[in-house]
Structure 1
Amino acid sequence: MQDCRILITRPEPENTLSRERLSALGWETVPLPMLEIVPIQGTNQQLAIRAQVFDIDEFDYVIFVSKNAARMACEWLDSCWPMLPEGIHWLGIGQGTTQALLDEGIPALSNPGHTTEALLDWLKPVKMTHKKILIVRGVGGRPELGQKLEEKGATVSYLSLYERRKPNYSAQTFFMLPDINLIWITSGESLNNLSEYVNQHKPEWKRLPILTPSTRVNQQAKEMGWINATCAQGADDNSLIKATESHIGKQND
């Protein structure tokens, strides 16, 4: 398994954390983040965020779509709420996001799956009519979650805490990279950014095995010309490690 060199495309700080875990397993990794996470900085925007956080007790559910959303929201909650408001259902999409909330003392629950679709399926039996829901995310996140909850009769608001940007890499960056054997991708947006660079600088990578977090992103990868895409059924390290072990096992058969 030590012969598998894995390209990790997570944004920081998750990229470093994943690489540390894989290094402990004896795997070699190459960092190449395909998203930059930039906190909202504008004065007026931060004032608007603070106002929303002060009003968070008006919501029945608060849903966090990522670990970045969870971490940044916890900082705002610490500054605005010395004690957490009661009566709110705190939900994280995926075990990693939920654990980030639990680590900060927020009694969050998580659906058994790791995706928006899995969360929606988990919430199917829950009556959402007249419920107020806050979705904590980055600017311009996927609309499906909010739309489906509104179809169930909920009133949905959004708290956007960060922007996602495409990193700026040169041709030399790709020229200097070592050979890789496997790629981890953890979102559709990261896949888009990686594909643009690969089309320019590393078209041969389209033949490499690439692990994706969901059926949706896996189909997206195939449509973009990745001929060896496999769904890992989650964007968390555990899911991707399991899928990596399965891939290596098949290679060694």
Structure 2
Amino acid sequence: MNKLLSGVRILVTRPEHQADNLSRLIEEQGGIAVRFPTLEIIAKDNALEIKQMLANPDLFQWLIFISANAVNFALKANDGKIACTKSVRFAAVGQSTAQAMRMAGLNVDLVPESGYNSEALLAMPELQQVEGQRFLIVRGEGGREQLATALRSRGAEVNYLEVYRRVIPRIDSSPVVELLAQHSLDIVTVTSAEALQNLKLMLDEKNNKLLSLITLVVVSNRIRCIAADMGFNRIIVTNSPIDTAILETVITCVTGE
């Protein structure tokens, strides 16, 4: 069987607990997955607040989960369950989040058929007339404000429940530095703006210059713009943030097909 990525070294910057699938897909095609997590996802120290907020979900008309991490950390802090009531509807920003919700036994009442961000969710017909409705957005600490801002502009009341935070991992960067010095790294994959910014912080100026010469595969035009501002020369955007789409884009970069 012809392995399309034979010998190709690909930097995988996903958090450690989320890197297995993409790394496996790369290795199945003969590639070398170089794991270098530039984000670590950890629980916030607010389990009591999470329990209190999720004890009565019917106080809200909508619960929106921003990511699979939002689902998993909310459940972890709330004894593995979230009550489903007829008065509350559950929404997911994208298909990966929806899958995590279904695996947790939650209803998925609304998820964009295409797209995987706040803009796609905001375009759904169900969220056009929301005046007077109450929303709880379950997310990580910080993050984009567009979803809440748009819903508030449509007359909704919006609260946040932050269940995790992102930090820069304390790991040895010397294996990546060595690959950069040898010009042996072929492609870099990045799935969030923060992961990209942390990657830059984890390397010095000399190695960032070397890094900017390597093909960068990202999962959104927003990240592409940030990468361009950071000096990356060749940036390719995937059709979707899922691992199979990232793999397909990497293969296209390598084979030109």
SS at match of 2:14: coil
2:14 maps to 1:13? no
Residue 80 of structure 1: CA displacement?
Answer: 5.8
Partner of 2:53: 52
Closer, same or farther in 2 for the Cα pair 1:123/1:221, shift >3 Å? farther
Write 1 or 2 for the structure with the bigger share of helix. Answer: 1
Partner of 1:243: 249
Q: Deviations over 1:193-252 (max 9, x none)?
A: 1122344352211011111111111111001101111111332213212222322231xx
Spell out the pairing of 1:197-208 with structure 2 (5 A cutoff). Answer: 197-200=202-205, 202=207, 203-208=209-214
Match of 1:188 among 186, 193, 201: 193
- 2:71, 2:92 → 1: CA distance? 8
1:225 maps to amino acid = G
Structure 1 unaligned residues grouped into runs of 5+: none
2:170 maps to 1:175? no
**What root-mean-square deviation, in Å, do the aligned CA atoms of Structure 1 and Structure 2 show?**
2.2
Structure 2 unaligned residues grouped into runs of 5+: none
2:92 maps to amino acid = G
Spell out the pairing of 1:64-103 with structure 2 (5 A cutoff). Answer: 64-79=65-80, 81=82, 83-103=83-103
2:56 maps to amino acid = D
Spell out the pairing of 1:145-156 with structure 2 (5 A cutoff). Answer: 145-156=147-158
8 A Cα contact 1:214 1:231, kept in partner: yes
Partner of 2:220: 214
- 2:161, 2:188 → 1: CA distance? 32
1:150 maps to amino acid = R
- 1:247, 1:92 → 2: CA distance? 31
2:107 maps to 1:107? yes
Q: Deviations over 1:9-51 (max 9, x none)?
A: 011311123212332343321111111101013xxx2211111
Q: Deviations over 1:158-186 (max 9, x none)?
A: 11111100123445343355822111101
Alignment size in residue pairs: 247
- 1:106, 1:123 → 2: CA distance? 22
Q: Percent identity?
A: 27
SS at match of 1:184: strand
Partner of 1:128: 130
- 1:180, 1:87 → 2: CA distance? 52
Q: Deviations over 1:104-124 (max 9, x none)?
A: 111214212112222222358
- 1:74, 1:171 → 2: CA distance? 33
SS at match of 2:86: coil
Residue 90 of structure 1: CA displacement?
Answer: 1.4
Q: List, as ranges, runs of 4+ consecutive aligned residues in structure 1 with deviation greater than 6 Å.
A: none
Closer, same or farther in 2 for the Cα pair 1:8/1:128, shift >3 Å? same
- 2:127, 2:66 → 1: CA distance? 21
After TM superposition, the structure 1 stretch with the greater mean CA deviation from structure 2, 228-237 or 71-80, is: 71-80
2:120 maps to 1:118? yes
- 2:218, 2:13 → 1: CA distance? 11
Q: TM-score, normalised by structure 1?
A: 0.88
